[in-house]
């Protein structure tokens, strides 16, 4: 076996062990709270010595920093990769934005919940970076929605409210989605994209009037409630 192969295998093992530690830390942060969890708790849950855990993370704060970066920075990068492509039709760009953002949350639900609950425990620099990343995601959604409004594809509504509402639908998945249910994450993300677009697409009729902010938010809430009930029904029927 070559030195390069050995090195690659060691890197792969280290990455897998690091991820396993983070997953155990997530479960503990959720069940016991960030403040109620210590490094020994995490080591015990991971089946490691505390010294072994320190090899990967210097503190539980370092774990929270890693979890936050995995969620917030990745979300910002994904959003930027779509919103900057002005050659994409606005409808297609928004659809991809929603599918990507919802897909990220659905793939990392525990991490997202930990970040939402424990971000205040981050050092100031990391907390600011997370806030900047979230603002970046919002800005990318707003950019695409405003472009769609200018082009007459979307209804003339408040782009910030629409963006907040759609992002909220995506983020809420972390609390209700059942990975063991019959509806796969990809289908849920696609459905959310369809619901979000349905509330924004211009009716293109002379009688149509701009939807108010309240009407838009109510429509999105109602659509999301229907999706949640459908997923819950399918999941309960599988048990």
DSSP secondary structure letters along the chain: --HHHHHHHHHHHHHHHHHHHHHHHHHHHHHH-STT--HHHHHHHHTS-HHHHHHH-SSHHHHHHHHHIIIIIHHHHHHHHHHT-TTS-HHHHHHHHHHHHHHHHHHSHHHHHHHHHHGGGS-HHHHHHHHHHHHHHHHHHHHHHHHHHHTTSB-SS-HHHHHHHHHHHHHHHHHH--TTSSS-HHHHHHHHHHHHHHTTB----TT--PPPHHHHHHHHHHHHHHHHHHHHHHHHHH-
Structural tokens at position 5: 């192969």
C-alpha 172/C-alpha 186 separation (Å) is: 15
What mean pLDDT, rounded, does the chain reach? 85
Crossing angle, helix 60-68 and helix 39-46, to 10 degrees? 70
The band of 199, judged by pLDDT with boundaries at 50, 70 and 90, is confident
The arithmetic mean of pLDDT across residues 11-35, rounded, is 90
Spatial CA neighbour of 27 closest among 102, 142, 111, 127: 111
Extents of the domains making up the chain: 1-58, 60-238
pLDDT of residue 206: 39
Q: Which fold would CATH assign to domain 1-58?
A: Arc Repressor Mutant, subunit A (1.10.10)
Tens-place pLDDT, residues 88-137: 999 999 999 999 999 999 999 999 999 988 888 888 999 999 999 999 99
pTM over 0.75: yes
Percent of the chain predicted with pLDDT > 90? 64
CB under 8 Å to 139, separation ≥6 — which residues?
Answer: 83
3-state secondary structure of 212: coil
C-alpha 222/C-alpha 5 separation (Å) is: 54
Q: Which fold would CATH assign to domain 60-238?
A: Tetracycline Repressor; domain 2 (1.10.357)
**Distance (Å) of CA 168 to CA 158, 206, 212:** 15, 31, 18
The arithmetic mean of pLDDT across residues 205-230, rounded, is 53
């Amino acid at each position: 076996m070559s030195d390069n192969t050995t090195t690659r295998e060691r890197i792969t093992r280290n990455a897998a062990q690091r991820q396993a530690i983070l997953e155990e830390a997530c479960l503990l942060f959720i069940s016991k709270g960030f403040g109620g969890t210590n490094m020994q708790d995490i080591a015990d849950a991971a089946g490691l010595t505390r010294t072994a855990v320190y090899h990967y993370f210097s503190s539980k704060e370092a774990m929270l920093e890693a979890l936050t970066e995995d969620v917030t920075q990745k979300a910002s990068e994904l959003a930027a990769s779509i919103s900057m492509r002005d050659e994409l039709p606005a409808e297609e760009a928004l659809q991809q934005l929603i599918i990507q953002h919802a897909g990220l949350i659905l793939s990392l639900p525990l991490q997202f919940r930990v970040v939402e609950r424990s971000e205040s425990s981050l050092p100031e620099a990391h907390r600011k970076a997370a806030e900047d990343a979230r603002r970046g995601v919002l800005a990318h959604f707003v950019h695409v929605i405003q472009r769609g409004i200018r082009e007459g594809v979307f209804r003339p509504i408040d782009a910030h409210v629409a963006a907040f509402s759609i992002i909220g639908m995506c983020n809420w998945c972390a609390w209700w989605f059942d990975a063991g249910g019959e509806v796969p994450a990809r289908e849920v993300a696609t459905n959310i994209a369809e619901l979000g677009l349905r509330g924004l697409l211009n009716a293109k009729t002379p009688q149509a009037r701009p939807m108010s902010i309240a009407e838009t938010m109510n429509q999105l809430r109602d659509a999301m409630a229907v999706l949640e009930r459908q997923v819950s029904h399918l999941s309960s029927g599988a048990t």
